[in-house]
Amino acid sequence: MAKKRLPPIAVGYQAFAKGSEEEFGAVRQVRPQDLVVYIEDAGDTIIPIAAVTDVVEGKVIIDIQRLDETVRRAIENAHRDEDFP
C-alpha cells in the first residue's frame, strides 16, 4: 500500500497531537525523513515524518503512539509550567 502524500510542511507550523486541540510545539526544521519540533518545556526534538498523519492550515498533526516514550512524555508535559487562573 502506498503512503499517503502529505501537503508541504513549513517552519513555524504548529504541532498538535492527533485528537488534541492544544498545540505542543512548533516546527523548527523540515528534513526528508523527520522534523525538528520545538516542544514547550523540552526543547528541540526529532519527530519522524512517519508519525505525521496530516497537515492542515499550518498545523502538523502527529500520532504520538508512533513516537518513543520519552518524546510522548515531553509532549504530554508541554504546558505543565503554565499558570491557569
Which pLDDT does position 41 carry in this prediction? Answer: 85
Which pLDDT does position 1 carry in this prediction? Answer: 45
Which pLDDT does position 79 carry in this prediction? Answer: 72
Q: Which domains does the chain have, with CATH numbers?
A: 14-76 (2.30.30)
Which pLDDT does position 3 carry in this prediction? Answer: 59
Which residue(s) pair with 60 in the sheet? 15, 55
Which pLDDT does position 83 carry in this prediction? Answer: 52
Residue with cell 518545556: 41
Which pLDDT does position 82 carry in this prediction? Answer: 54
What is the Cα–Cα distance from 79 to 33, expressed in whole angstroms? 27
Low-confidence ranges of the chain (pLDDT < 50): 1, 84
